[in-house]
Amino acid sequence: MSTDSNRGGAGNRKTGKERGGGETGTHTGATGGAAEPLLRVKDLVKYYPTERKGFLGGRRGEIKAVDGVSFDLQRGETLGLVGETGCGKSTIARTLMRLEEPTSGAAYYKGRDLFTLSKASVQALRREIQMVFQDPFASLNPRMEVGQIIAEPWVVHPGIVPKEEQRGRVGALLERVGLPAADAKRYPHEFSGGQRQRIGIARALALQPDLIICDEPVSALDVSVQAQVINLLVELQAELGLSYIFIAHDLAVVRQISDRVAVMHLGRIVEVGGEDEIYARPTHPYTQALLSAAPAPNPVGRKERKRIVLEGELPSPVNPPSGCTFRTRCWKAESICSEDRPQLIDRFDHGHPSACHFAELQTLPAAGTA
Ligand SMILES: Nc1ncnc2c1ncn2[C@@H]1O[C@H](COP(=O)(O)OP(=O)(O)OP(=O)(O)O)[C@@H](O)[C@H]1O
Ligand code: SF4
Ligand SMILES: [Mg+2]
């Protein structure tokens, strides 16, 4: 069996890649004059009804999983979505895939609103938007050979690859993700976690998508294997012009692949920007707290960085705080923070959007968290 350690490409950073199109990715001064984004998400809201009725049998409550999220994704760009567990990252992914219906909002893919498409059109669109999941073992049918798993999308979308060419195409896809073509005859349990993720990526590539939504694709892998899988995604992007939404809860992981990073808190994006902006000049207290908790790579960074310990529980999405949802844990909160929901807007002339009334530039050591 092949191993992960002899696979994967060069260094573990996305180097020498042009930064992706729009400046901010929100509609707040976003892509002024730039080409139409591949994907534009506008005020996406997804509420789930709570299981039980409220106090004294009152109305059912709502879990505000996603509560007004907007962003743009340019062609060939990677947007990292990062935030604590339960902040709504996977819900965004699932609604964009139409695996769940949004409560409100719009998402324009190549100008077409994903949320108003018929079932048949959604099926056709699945060719262009694919997903890679956190747990490749759970998403690969254990009773199917790897070759069948990779070829399965061609059954759902007939006519894309003629039957007689499928075996050769499966072999080429396996080799493209760093596995031998002969692995097509094996079963998922015969592979390591990293190899299974490569198989998941090969399956996602089978329909030649334009956009891949990667939901925590490396979170279950060892650090060295994480880097290899990320390198593979970066190489494929350069070669095939793919766009990614890359979801993770770890700012350091997201940094390795993203052109821009959107930091989420309780169903909302609270700060979005390029690497320099988020990692070296964060302005939102929540981003600053997350970065302060990440291990600094060198002694200078360690000395200069002051750890911010967040006190209090992460609030419930059933009953989120009024105004700024971070206010119950924010050391800078003032009365306006409970009265007025801070908009995700550029708070400095040449800064980047931040949803904080008291956004403040913080300059961190250049080495950041990598
Ligand atoms: N099908 C569902 N029914 C009810 N509530 C749900 C459902 N799916 C998600 N939620 C709730 O919505 C909120 C957001 O969940 P989501 O899975 O999107 O978070 P996440 O950011 O992906 O978290 P994680 O990092 O743990 O994967 C959570 O409070 C979750 O419990
Ligand atoms: S708006 Fe207020 S509570 Fe929210 S992050 Fe800014 S200072 Fe803190
Ligand atoms: Mg998730």
**Ligand whose nearest atom lies closest to the CA of 336:** 2
- Residues found in the chain: 370
Structure tokens at 350: 């040449």
Q: Which of 47, 90, 265, 319 to mutate to test the pocket of ligand 1 (most atoms within 8 A of CB)?
A: 90
Residues whose beta carbons lie less than 5 angstroms from ion ligand 3: 89-90
Looking at ligand 1, which residue's alpha carbon is closest to its atom 24? 85
Q: Which of 46, 47, 48 to mutate to test the pocket of ligand 1 (most atoms within 8 A of CB)?
A: 48
At residue 166, φ and ψ (nearest 5 deg) are: -65, -40
Looking at ligand 2, which residue's alpha carbon is closest to its atom 6? 356
Task: Give dist(CA 329, CA 369) in Å, integer.
Answer: 23
218 C-beta closer than 6 A to ligand 2? no
What does each of the 370 residues of the chain score in pLDDT, given as a tens digit?
Answer: 343 433 333 333 444 344 333 333 344 334 344 679 999 999 999 999 987 655 555 667 899 999 999 999 999 999 999 999 999 999 999 999 999 999 999 999 999 999 999 988 998 888 999 999 988 778 899 999 999 999 999 998 988 899 999 999 999 999 999 999 999 999 999 999 999 999 999 999 999 999 999 999 999 899 989 999 999 999 999 999 999 999 999 999 999 999 999 999 999 999 999 988 999 999 999 999 999 887 665 555 555 667 888 888 889 999 999 999 999 999 999 999 999 999 999 988 767 999 999 999 888 765 444 4
Looking at ligand 1, which residue's alpha carbon is closest to its atom 11? 65
Q: Which residues contact 80 (CB under 8 A, 6 or more apart)?
A: 246, 247, 248, 254, 255, 257, 258, 260, 261, 262
91 C-beta closer than 6 A to ligand 1? yes
Overall pTM surpassing 0.85 (yes/no):
yes
Beta partners for 79? Answer: 245, 260
Answer whether 278's CB lies under 8 Å from 263's CB: yes
